[in-house]
Amino acid sequence: MKVFISQAMDGKSHEEIQQERDMAIETIRQKFGDDIEVLDTFFSDFDGLKHPLEFLGKAIMMLAMADVAYFVDGWESARGCRVEYQCCRNYGVDVIGAD
């Protein structure tokens, strides 16, 4: 099962983001077991991307490969996460953690 993690990143250090991701992965593993593949959506090698929409576009491309999307607490405050959530709803990607 391929899992997409959506999380607010603005204003957070790389360490804070990674810590949240690690906690999310542990929660996902508890729910689904070890037979998951977490899609790498924490882009640390920005490859010349400059505009936030470029990052969002790259994330949505990854979301298209996901069976399920996990939304980390606080996702509602991030415009990119809200777009990712709407994409899940509109295109049939299962959502967890967004209650």
Domain boundaries, the chain: 15-96
60 pLDDT more than 80: yes
Tokens describing residue 72 = 């980390």
- Indicate the DSSP class of residue 76: G
- Helix, coil or strand: residue 95: strand
CB within 8 Å of 30: residues ≥ 6 apart: none
Name the residue with higher pLDDT: 65 or 47: 65
Which residues are bridge partners to 38 per DSSP? Answer: 3
- How far is residue 17's CA from residue 25's CA, in Å, rounded to a whole number? 12
Amino acid at 2: K
- How far is residue 75's CA from residue 65's CA, in Å, rounded to a whole number? 20
The pLDDT value given to residue 46: 52
- Indicate the DSSP class of residue 89: H
At 4-54, the pLDDT tens digits run 999 998 888 889 999 999 999 999 999 999 999 999 887 665 555 578 888
Q: Is the pTM of this model over 0.95?
A: no
